Amino acid sequence: MFKALLVEKDEHGCQANIRELAESSLPEGDVTVDIEYSTLNYKDALAITGKGSIVRAFPMVPGIDFSGLVQSSNHRDFKPGDRVVLNGWGVGEQHWGGLGQKAKVRGDWLVHLPASITSRQAMMIGTAGYTAMLSVMALERYGITPGNGDVLVTGANGGVGSIAIMLLKKLGYRVIAATGRLNETSHLEKLGAAEIIDRALLSQPGKPLQRERWAAAIDSVGSHTLANVCAATKADGAVAACGMAQGLDFPASVASFILRGVALLGINSVTRPKSQRIEAWGRLSTLLTESELEIMASTIGLNEVVATAGKLLDGQVRGRVVVDLNA
């Protein structure tokens, strides 16, 4: 038996409760993992509260990522005792995910943890940090360097934003952070932001082409914010779009793309090839230390997840929330 947060649905809607489940109830997979840590992401909060159409099949154990030790394996690349991490692949949405003490998944979805990262540190980084790294890598592939100019990070107090600031600072970029919580200015400066702007400057409808302000951006917000970010990006710059906290819509024009040659780079962290995952985790292991991550991470137990999910959706949570499955 193992403990897990189970989301169920009936005529009254969705309910999330901690259950004792038999290992035989786990879905199909060729690797069983003893989960040590998971996280609480925006997607997880939507799944737990039922406020978004995230869960595709009920009942569901949410949690889009986890880290832990292989318990048993029929996959050639993994053996009992291996330290592994998983991000994406529909876990927590259509395949039982990380907010339980055990998971059974396809070995092709797993990545060996670099030796320098602990399981807890991996989830302090989590899918948010992994997505931030993919976004930075996309800007680098496009040719953006620190010499091109400032890089804007929206949703700066969120998980993706916080780690994106840290990564960019480490790599030599000057970072502008956009946030709705200006009282967190000193925290963002500690992470590496050189300049803080109010998200209200970006979140309302704006002109299709605006004064050039940044060479590149990492946007986790979407909607009007992404439109304004693109409109104020310098000629031949690039914007990595990796989130939709404000909305799925994109009320923009083609002006910045045609008249300035701005590139919009979509970041899909769910189904990246293993080679990109290994590269991302390898770079994360060298760029971020546990002491640095402690600044923007908090840890809760499984019994605190439901209450914290509501706070996250209300914008009351800063940075990363790690879930200790054995607390």
C-alpha 283/C-alpha 279 separation (Å) is: 6
User: pLDDT tens digits, residue range 95-150?
Assistant: 999 999 999 999 999 999 999 999 999 999 999 999 999 999 999 999 999 999 99
Residues 307 and 226 in one domain: no
Residues 240 and 313 in one domain: no
CATH number at residue 8: 3.90.180.10
User: pLDDT tens digits, residue range 43-63?
Assistant: 899 999 988 788 888 999 999
Contact in structure between 121 and 291 (CB atoms under 8 Å): no
Is residue 85 pLDDT above 90, yes or no? yes
C-alpha 172/C-alpha 155 separation (Å) is: 20
pLDDT number for residue 10: 84
Residue 202 is assigned to a structural domain of this protein? yes
pLDDT number for residue 60: 94
CATH number at residue 256: 3.40.50.720
User: pLDDT tens digits, residue range 279-291?
Assistant: 999 999 999 988 8
C-alpha 191/C-alpha 173 separation (Å) is: 13
Residues 70 and 196 in one domain: no
Nearest-CA neighbor of 317 among 172, 161, 116? 161
Residues 62 and 138 in one domain: no
C-alpha 166/C-alpha 143 separation (Å) is: 20
Q: What's the domain count of the chain?
A: 2
Q: Which domain holds residue 57?
A: 2-113+296-324
Residues 139 and 169 in one domain: yes
DSSP 245-297: SSBS-----SHHHHHS--EEEE---SS--HHHHHHHHHHHHHH--HHHHHTTE
Residue 288 is assigned to a structural domain of this protein? no
Residue 290 is assigned to a structural domain of this protein? no
Residue 289 is assigned to a structural domain of this protein? no
Q: Is the pTM of this model over 0.95?
A: no
Q: Is the previous residue joined to 59 through a cis bond, with omega within 30 degrees of 0?
A: yes
**What are the helix (H) ranges across the chain?**
42-49, 119-142, 159-170, 185-191, 223-231, 255-259, 274-287, 290-294, 305-313
Residues 40 and 69 in one domain: yes
pLDDT number for residue 315: 82
Residues 88 and 141 in one domain: no
Residues 137 and 262 in one domain: yes
Residues 72 and 161 in one domain: no
Burial call 212-247: b when 16+ CB within 10 Å, e when fewer: bbbbbbbbbbbbbbbbbbbbbbbeebbbbbbbbbbe
Residues 246 and 196 in one domain: yes
C-alpha 65/C-alpha 99 separation (Å) is: 8
Nearest-CA neighbor of 128 among 171, 74, 178, 64? 64
Residue 284 is assigned to a structural domain of this protein? no
pLDDT number for residue 42: 87
Residues 317 and 214 in one domain: no
Tell me phi and psi for residue 208, to 5 degrees: -65, -25
C-alpha 281/C-alpha 288 separation (Å) is: 10
C-alpha 119/C-alpha 24 separation (Å) is: 25
C-alpha 144/C-alpha 240 separation (Å) is: 11
C-alpha 85/C-alpha 125 separation (Å) is: 11
